[in-house]
Structure formats: C-alpha cells, structure tokens
Amino acid sequence: GQAIRNANDAIGMVQTADKAMDEQIKILDTIKTKAVQAAQDGQTLESRRALQSDIQRLLEELDNIANTTSFNGQQMLSGSFSNKEFQIGAYSNTTVKASIGSTSSDKIGHVRMETSSFSGAGMLASAAAQNLTEVGLNFKQVNGVNDYKIETVRISTSAGTGIGALSEIINRFSNTLGVRASYNVMATGGTPVQSGTVRELTINGVEIGTVNDVHKNDADGRLTNAINSVKDRTGVEASLDIQGRINLHSIDGRAISVHAASASGQVFGGGNFAGISGTQHAVIGRLTLTRTDARDIIVSGVNFSHVGFHSAQGVAEYTVNLRAVRGIFDANVASAAGANANGAQAETNSQGIGAGVTSLKGAMIVMDMADSART
C-alpha cells in the first residue's frame, strides 16, 4: 500500500543523494590529485596557477551538485533535508527519519591549524643554548573526553632532539590524537650578508673557524660553503634567499645554536643572528599542529611554553573550509599553517601566500581540505 510507496520514496531519495555524493567524492579526489601535483617546487608559478584554475572549476561543479540535486522538488544536499520522516508501516508512528547534511564547499573540508608563537622561547633570538629543556605535551580531550600525554622530548642542538623529534612522536600517535605535526626550524638574517670577517664561528657545537673576507651578499658563496662543509655534523644547512640574506635551516628539526667572536653578527645581517657575538644563541623553531576538522587543538604539559604553545604567547591559529580555496590564503592563514619560520618570513608573507595551490604551503593546505571533505 501507501506505506510501501513511502518506503520506496525514502529509498529513492537516499539513492539519489548517494549517486550525487559519489560524483562529489570523485571531484574531491581530483582536487587532491591536483594539489599533490602542485606540492613540489618543480612547479612554476604559472603551472600552479593553471592547476588552481582547474581546482576552481571543480569546486564550481561540486557546489552545483550540492545546490541542484533534488527529489520530488526537495533539495537533497543543500542542508535543508533535515529530520525528514517517512511512514513505512500499517500503523501510525511506524516511521523512519533521515537527514543529509550540506555538501557545499562552504560546509565541508574544514582544517584547523595551530602554530607555536614567535614570542615564546621557541623563537627568541637571544635564547641561550644552555637553557634548552625537555618538553612533554598533553593533548586535551582528543576524543571529546579523554586527554593523551606523549613522551617527553629533549629540545637541544643534538641529533634526534628538538621539535623535529617532537613532531615525529606526535605523528606516531596521530590516529589517536587526531592531529598531525610538522615543523620549521630556520634562522634568517634581517638584512643581506655584509662584507667582513666571521671569527671563531661555531654552529651546534661544531667549530667551523674563521671565514675571512666575506663579500656582500656572500657573492662568491664562501660563508655558505664553509657552513655547508660540516652540515652532516651540525644538522644545519645554509642558503641565500633572493634578497641576499643568509638562511640556516635545520635538516632534522634540532635547534640551531650559532656563536662567533667580535662583531661577526653584523656580517650575518642581524635578525635571528643579532646576538651571536654575545652569549650562546639558539633558535628552536615553530611547531605546527593540523587537524582535519574544525575542533580546537588544546595542548598543555611540561614546559610546553618553551616551544611557544602557551595560549598567553599568541599561538597562530586559524580554521579554513574548502571554499577558502577560491580566495587568497592571507597572512593569518600563512602563519597558522607554519609558512613563517621566523619574523623575516612573516614579513615576506605579510600579504599572504596566494590563492589555493599557487604556493607550496597552500597546496598542502588544499590536500588537507580535500581529505577532510571526504570524511
């Protein structure tokens, strides 16, 4: 009778919605594939822009499916199909209820990103190397109720320590925590390399010695070459950016300690190196935590402020959804996503990191968005 027809209508509605959502999942898979393609520096800005254009067209298609899929005139995927009831038996109140959430791009693909503060011990340019410590993080309410404490990690300039090791432990338990970790440990000069002599240069306890007659912008590469000649021992690699500033990058996430005699810090261009001619100088770096939903990431623990994660330190945090791919990832998104290892990079990215996959970090954010939207 009519109850059977009602049940068949309910089945038809669900089948219509399932078919449409299957098409949306295929679109999300394609978006992720294009984001992965963009997430490597073999791409040029032009090729990334082409991929971004493809992704924007795919988003339009996804939203069109969400806004037009209907059954008997009722929108199925716009968010309005909620708590619908169907009489399926011969007796009153023999019913089933069905709800289908919105699948439009502004309602799916949430990603929560939090990156440790510049102002904590994690990024103080004058932090003394001997004051580095052990850190143990406690993730609060990981499943909505229970906390989860991970093992402590030594933050120092030695191999197998630092926020790189901390990130590795977090990722080992990422399925339990619902959080992934990444890191960026880099020291950058405030100005281009200046001409002069760097005396008694020591990085992470390894004596490099004196580097004579460094040229402006390290034009012949003698300073970077001297540092890189011992990178296997220090875990630190040097490079120059397009402005001629020196960057020291921690290969495995250990802290970077730099010390030199006299006024050698002037040759390095100040910035993160302003204090290297005084007390031992260390940069710990910034730790980024990412969750593929919109829930807050709450962290406490032993010395967690030493890696810049105390709420009073101004943790960089932001939540995006899939539709954000259409616009610019602004400075707030860039900082929360870990694009800025230090103040110099924050200044470079003060206008953001471009739209969607047009930057390496942006492409990685879009990958997370696509994964979140599929769940």
Q: In the chain, what's the furthest Cα-to-Cα distance?
A: 95
Can you tell me the distance from the alpha carbon of 218 to that of 220, in angstroms, rounded to the nearest whole number?
A: 6
Is 256 among the domain residues?
yes
Is 22 among the domain residues?
yes
Average confidence (pLDDT) over 358-367 = 97
Is 126 among the domain residues?
no
The enclosing domain of 34 has a CATH number of 1.20.1330.10
Structural domain that includes position 216? 187-283
Q: Under the phi-then-psi rule, with left for phi > 0, alpha for psi from -120 to 50, and beta for the rest, what region is 265? A: alpha
Average confidence (pLDDT) over 326-344 = 93
Is 125 among the domain residues?
no
* Structure confidence at residue 275 (pLDDT): 66
Is 45 among the domain residues?
yes
Cβ 117 vs Cβ 312: under 8 Å: no
CA proximity to 284, closest of 174, 119, 149, 151: 119
Q: Tens digit of pLDDT for each residue in 304-330? A: 887 888 777 778 999 999 999 999 999
Q: Tens digit of pLDDT for each residue in 216-228? A: 999 999 999 999 9
Cβ 204 vs Cβ 157: under 8 Å: yes
Which among 229, 254, 283 is the end of a domain?
283
* Structure confidence at residue 265 (pLDDT): 66
Across 112-116, 138-142, 198-202, 313-317, least confident range: 313-317
Is 306 among the domain residues?
no
* Structure confidence at residue 332 (pLDDT): 95
Is 289 among the domain residues?
no
E strand spans, 91-141: 95-98, 111-115, 134-139
Single-letter code of the amino acid located at 21: M
Which among 38, 66, 98 is the end of a domain?
98
Residue with the larger pLDDT of the pair 205 and 274: 205
pLDDT band per the 50, 70, 90 thresholds, residue 13 = confident
Beta bridge partners of 86: 96
* Residue 347 neighbours by CB distance under 10 Å: 12
Cβ 76 vs Cβ 17: under 8 Å: yes
Q: Tens digit of pLDDT for each residue in 211-260? A: 999 999 999 999 999 999 999 999 999 999 999 999 999 999 999 988 88
**Two structure tokens written together for 19:** 């078919």
Contacts 24+ apart (CB under 8 A), 347-355: 352/328, 353/329, 354/328, 354/329, 355/52, 355/325, 355/326, 355/327, 355/328, 355/329
Roughly how many angstroms between the first and final C-alpha of the chain, as a whole number?
38
Query: Is the pLDDT score of 209 beyond 60?
Result: yes
**Two structure tokens written together for 96:** 């089933």
Is 307 among the domain residues?
no
pLDDT band per the 50, 70, 90 thresholds, residue 270 = confident
Which among 54, 78, 98 is the end of a domain?
98
pTM of the model: 0.89
Across 58-62, 123-127, 173-177, 324-328, least confident range: 123-127
The enclosing domain of 264 has a CATH number of 3.30.70.2120
Domain count, the chain: 2
- As a whole number, the mean pLDDT across the chain is 89
Q: Of all residues in the chain, what percent carry a pLDDT higher than 70?
A: 92
Query: Is the pLDDT score of 148 beyond 80?
Result: yes
